[in-house]
A and B are shown apart, each in its own frame.
Chain A
């Protein structure tokens, strides 16, 4: 019997204002609150609220036989708490059905894993506290930003108490093997890997409304047939939550598809499972990810975020400020710095598809990747000046341990 494991990512970044040279040293507001609030409301109305309602109903009517996992980024939870408490309540009600498992991730939806192990731990811990605070759950399965994962990260994740990780079932990793099984992390056998079945995931996430696709129109019946035919122990379907109503608009029939899917699956003897229940199963084999692998693009690597000189230098600049920001002990400065770690800021600087005019692939608030870089670096400059101006609470010579404690303590105040 094949099990179905569905996980959807819920994330919104704090987009920057068009922060100019002239703002450095005079303007402390880095983020475009008005646009961020407006975009949150739009996606909430089109996706989060209707999708939450539908999932709640499907879980209840199936007697919790229908199950999903969600991962909410810390920046999203911050935005919901501040600007859309009704939507936060909607998520809480959904989670209260008992049919939703929440995953762990970095609070800032950041690339900290690639930059600073210490920051990675701090953000994972902060995210865990936020999930605890808003939903009363303690995640046991982890997903890193954009599914970025490699062997070297496994011990870190295991040490933080997680039993399994969502990873990309990339061809270059899977080879002849099927993604429809539970695997063990190479070198860290206690950690389970749940590789994404990207074909079946992208059928819904990307291709659902594509009329040139030979699978169009995709009905729940047809899709359930495909799931049944796919075989294996468990099929791991990971998509953006925004697939439902935002990437695929309501008029494409995406909600009707989702509404009928559980019943079609039950009829074929397919079961829905939470990732944590898969984590308890014995692995069929080890999987090795020698290089950081993500779920993005054809390359499935990290070049969408760290693939050009601007991105590398922006990332270096940001993490170069970390120690000094922590040393100030100023929670407001730290909160601003942390929101800059969100991967979207680097994504906006990506030049890979820009030449093709293929900008519809991603949403960017900027006219070009170059404008994104300029705004980010101006903000970094201001943050550096603000950091220098702030009196450090402790001497710069303070040990690393002390700094991290200050960070963790400081973050609690910020929330």
Chain B
């Protein structure tokens, strides 16, 4: 046996999200990272994840504990819920399911809230037969499931908050979702927020007592990163004497209001004025995609902007590697895992100064998301000066090598939060 972590004897029943195959969503990545970290720190995990009946479930979550003692049980519950599930998105998913008629016998809720309740009912049943010491949930959609599980088992409940409805929708926030977020966090025994900024939102806008919120920033590992990627023909320089690869500026994330794709496209037009050879990649899907495509054409840069749609797996790594800079002009970014992924790949990142990740990463450009000129200034400088690119990449990589950015560190802090929950009632032990 190698350096085996001491077994904590703790088992967590987690209502989380499986990494969806065709979506680069931070929440799923974050929960998978947390599970990995917990397993490595010898906390056992029973993970309950919804899967789209329309898609076949992933054959296996390849989460293997390096040292063996901890173990993972995965339960998949058929449900059209998605981590970023707005009410409209759910309706769309429902319609798609109806068209496809691939219901596989599952009975879904009539609307998102009904589905959340149905899921909660299933959660109670799982909690009754799965032994556990603590329950962990991830964002409002799973809060009801966590509460149902607690009613059954009497074990303490932790509410992980990754983003509030205010972050996702701003002024268009859905009041019912806000209510459920608030009630879930108030009812939980402990709340874990992924940044101080998000904690402030929870305290100031949702009225959650500051004393019950722990801040745990995310980490990252380099698992599955390819050692080398080849430059696809589309990004090769053709002009005589041109660089082997054209400069690439990357936007990776959901193409929604929250992520600021509109700022990205305006900025791209500015950068193109100074660096005509530069190409821009918008990787992701979302309700603003048609608007962004139209805007690129209006700005006369349609030939230089590539829309990849949703990307997953290897392609994500490839994009980070090919990019000279990754830009995150998010209106709201409670954490911003994309920044860590980009930096881990050695690609400099421009992030909003209000992002949660900006609280912990120092070696990056930090801007106001609306300041297109500032971003243009930094991007052009990055494309022009190799010294700047290399210095940023080198220092960021060194910074991320610190244990505080590992997967173990957030897992350790999360386990601390688990222990900080009120002691279980007498009947529960």
Q: B-contacting residues of A (Cβ < 8 Å)? A: 20-22, 308-310, 312-313, 351, 354-355, 357, 367-368, 370-371, 373-374, 377-378
Contacts of B398 in A (CB 8 A): 355
- A355 pairs with B399, CB closer than 8 A: yes
- CB within 8 Å of A: which B364-417 residues: 364-366, 373-374, 376-378, 380-381, 384-388, 390-392, 395, 398-399
> A313 touching B362 by the CB < 8 A rule?
no
User: Cβ of B381 and Cβ of A373 under 8 Å apart?
Assistant: yes
The answer to whether A312 touches B387, judged by C-beta atoms less than 8 angstroms apart, is yes
- Indicate if B160 sits at the interface (CB-CB under 8 A): no
Name the CB-closest residue of A to B395.
A351
Name B365's contact: one of A309, A351, A368 (CB within 8 Å). Answer: A368
8 Å CB contact of B363 from A20, A351, A378: A351
Flag whether B291 is at the interface (Cβ < 8 A): no
Tell me the minimal C-beta distance from A309 to chain B in angstroms.
4
Given A20-B373, A377-B381, residue A309 in contact with residue B362 (CB < 8 A):
no
In the bound assembly, the distance between CA atoms of A21 and B376 in angstroms comes to 8
A residues within 8 A CB of B390? Answer: 309
A21 and B274 contact, CB distance less than 8 A: yes
Point out the residues of chain B lying under 8 angstroms from A313, CB to CB: 385, 387
CA distance in complex: A69, B162 (Å): 59
Question: Which of A357, A367, A370, A378 has the largest number of chain B CB atoms within 10 A?
Answer: A370
Given contact pairs A354-B362, A354-B363, A355-B363, A373 touches B377 in the complex (Cβ within 8 A): no
Cβ of B391 and Cβ of A374 under 8 Å apart?
no
Contact in complex: A370, B388 (CB < 8 Å):
yes
Q: Do most interface residues of chain B lie in helix, strand or loop, or is the interface mixed?
A: helix
CA distance A215 to B179 in the complex (A): 58
B391 touches A368 (CB 8 A): no
Q: Judging by beta carbons under 8 Å apart, are A371 and B391 in contact?
A: no
- B362 pairs with A370, CB closer than 8 A: no
Q: How far is the CB of A375 from chain B (nearest CB, A)?
A: 9
Whose C-beta in chain A lies nearest to the C-beta of B353? A367
Partner of A373, one of B274, B366, B376, B385: B385
Contact residues in B for A354 (Cβ distance below 8 Å): 362-363, 395
Closest to A349 in B: B391
Contacting B391 at CB < 8 Å: which of A20, A310, A367?
A310
Report the 4 A-B pairs with minimum CB-CB distance, sorted nearest first: A309-B387, A313-B387, A374-B381, A20-B377
Q: A355-B363, A368-B362, A377-B385 are in contact. Are A22 and B377 (CB under 8 A)?
A: yes
B362 touches A308 (CB 8 A): no
Docked complex Cα distance between A378 and B399 (Å): 27
Contacts of A351 in B (CB 8 A): 363, 391, 395
Contact A21–B381 (Cβ < 8 Å): yes
28 contacts between A and B (CB under 8 A): A20-B373, A20-B374, A20-B377, A21-B373, A21-B377, A21-B380, A309-B390, A309-B391, A310-B388, A310-B391, A312-B387, A313-B385, A313-B387, A351-B363, A351-B391, A367-B353, A370-B365, A370-B378, A370-B391, A371-B365, A371-B378, A373-B385, A374-B377, A374-B381, A374-B388, A377-B381, A377-B384, A378-B377
A22 to B379: give the CA distance in the assembly, Å: 13
Residue numbers in B under 8 Å from A309 (CB-CB) = 386-387, 390-391
Once bound together, how far apart are the Cα atoms of A51 and B68, in whole Å? 67
Number of A-B contacts (CB under 8 A): 67
CA distance in complex: A165, B366 (Å): 43
Most-contacted residue by chain A among B366, B376, B381 (CB, 10 A): B381
Point out the residues of chain A lying under 8 angstroms from B381, CB to CB.
21, 373-374, 377-378
B12–chain A nearest beta-carbon distance, Å: 32
Shortest CB-to-CB span from A22 to chain B, Å, is: 6
Interchain CA distance A371-B384 in the complex, whole Å:
14
Kindly provide the distance from the CB of B388 to the nearest chain A CB, expressed in whole angstroms: 6
Convert B146-166 into 0s and 1s, putting 1 for each residue whose CB lies closer than 8 angstroms to a CB of A.
Answer: 000000000000000000000
By a CB distance below 8 angstroms, the chain A residues around B377 are: 20-22, 374, 378
> Measured between alpha carbons, how far is A22 from B391 in the docked complex, in Å?
24
Tell me the bound Cα distance from A369 to B363 in angstroms.
9
How many angstroms from the CA of A339 to the CA of B392 in the assembled complex?
27
Query: Which partner residue on chain B sits nearest A313 by CB separation?
Result: B387
Alpha-carbon distance between A174 and B234 when the two chains are bound, in angstroms: 60
Instruction: Provide the bound-state CA to CA distance between A283 and B362, in Å.
Output: 48
Question: Which residues of chain B come closer than 8 Å to A368, judged between CB atoms?
Answer: 362-366
Shortest distance between the CB of A347 and any CB in chain B (Å): 15
Whole-angstrom distance between the Cβ of B296 and the nearest chain A Cβ: 21
- B346 CB → nearest A CB, Å: 14
A residues in contact with B399, CB < 8 Å: 355
A310 to B394, CA, bound (A): 12
- CB neighbours of B362 from chain A (8 A): 354-355, 357, 368
Residue ID in chain B nearest A314 by CB atoms: B387
User: Within the complex, what minimum Cβ distance (angstroms) separates B17 from chain A?
Assistant: 33
Task: Give the CA-CA distance A21 to B272 in the complex, in Å.
Answer: 13
Q: Are the CB atoms of A370 and B392 closer together than 8 Å?
A: yes
A354 to B366, CA, bound (A): 14
Give every chain B residue within 8 A of A378 (Cβ-Cβ).
Answer: 377, 381
Chain B residues with CB under 8 Å of A367's CB are 353, 366
Cα separation A20 to B364 with both chains bound (whole Å): 18
Residue on A nearest B365 in the bound complex, by CB:
A370
In the bound complex, residues from chain A placing their C-beta under 8 Å from that of B380 are 21
The interface residues of chain A lying within 8 Å CB-to-CB of B376 are: 21-22
CA distance A370 to B390 in the complex (A): 11
Tell which of B274, B364, B380, B387 has the most Cβ of chain A within 10 Å: B387
**How close is A112's CB to chain B, nearest CB, in angstroms?**
21
Q: Please indicate the chain B residues that have their CB under 8 angstroms from the CB of A312 in the complex.
A: 387
Per the bound structure, the CA–CA distance linking A371 and B386 in Å amounts to 15
A20 and B379 CA atoms in complex are apart in Å by 11
Chain A's closest residue to B385 (CB) is A377
- A332: min CB distance to chain B, Å: 25
* Docked CA distance A371–B348 (Å): 13
Residues of B within 8 A of A374 (CB): 377-378, 381, 388
